[in-house]
Amino acid sequence: MEIKKATFVKSCTKLDDAPKGKPEYAFIGRSNVGKSSLINMLVERNSLAKTSSKPGKTQLINYFDINEQWHIVDLPGYGYAKTSKKNRELFSEMIKDYLFNSENLMTVFILIDSRIPPQESDLDFIYNMGANEVPLVLVYTKIDKISKNKVNGTVAALKRKLSENWEELPQIILSSSVSGVGRKQILDYIQETNKLYIY
Ligand code: GTP
Ligand code: MG
């Protein structure tokens, strides 16, 4: 898929304010995993989504319009420890409300850092989405930072873990926002899934 146009639409804190009428794809994962960077890599714009080396950069539900046909949704990270407990709860309520109630959400891409073993917060989140029948794809990020062997080991460990509970495993995509690996796979997936959207 060619990205002809990518524009920021708006930031919201609740679903009522969200733009409607187009299929949307959300990106979620622990703080600093590389959600905003992956979005910029997909649309080939350096700073459409704001990134930072400090965790906790994205704090709202941010909508981007792609080719005037579909939306990308950049979400705040989960498991960010440095904000207050009250703030964390507000965040997770906002994210949950969005993920469980958005009418246009086609798939949530759950991002996982390829450099570390599966974290409890990641597994909790994956199981929670699965249990609520939210369509999901798992995306390993930052694979430019580790060896192929190590990535394969980490993916195998996650698959083993998920197989304890699930018969069918979700699609897993390896990515790097630095090298562009994974871009085509993600965009092909979105192109195919867009065909299922009922206007
Ligand atoms: P929050 O909005 O804070 O939840 O973070 P985020 O998940 O949006 O992460 P962000 O895209 O802001 O990236 C966090 C840091 O990781 C930045 O310093 C990025 O440059 C770096 N980063 C993200 N993706 C990659 C990648 O694929 N490779 C490498 N080497 N660095 C990356
Ligand atoms: Mg971000």
Q: At 43, phi and psi to the nearest 5? A: -95, 0
Give the closest residue (by CA) to ligand 1 atom 23. 34
C-alpha 2/C-alpha 59 separation (Å) is 29
For residue 104, the one-letter residue type is N
* 84, burial (CB in 10 Å: exposed 0-12, middle 13-18, buried 19+): exposed
Nearest atom of ligand 1 to the alpha carbon of 53: 18
What pTM was estimated for this model as a whole? 0.94
37 CB less than 6 Å from ligand 1? Answer: yes
42 and 72 Cβ atoms separated by less than 8 Å? yes
Q: How many CB atoms lie within 10 A of CB 79?
A: 18
84 CB less than 6 Å from ligand 1? Answer: no
pLDDT in tens, the chain (199 residues): 999 999 999 999 888 899 999 999 999 998 899 999 999 999 999 999 888 888 777 778 999 999 999 999 999 888 765 566 666 665 678 888 999 999 999 999 999 999 988 788 899 889 989 988 999 999 999 999 999 999 999 999 999 999 999 999 999 999 999 999 999 999 999 999 999 998 7
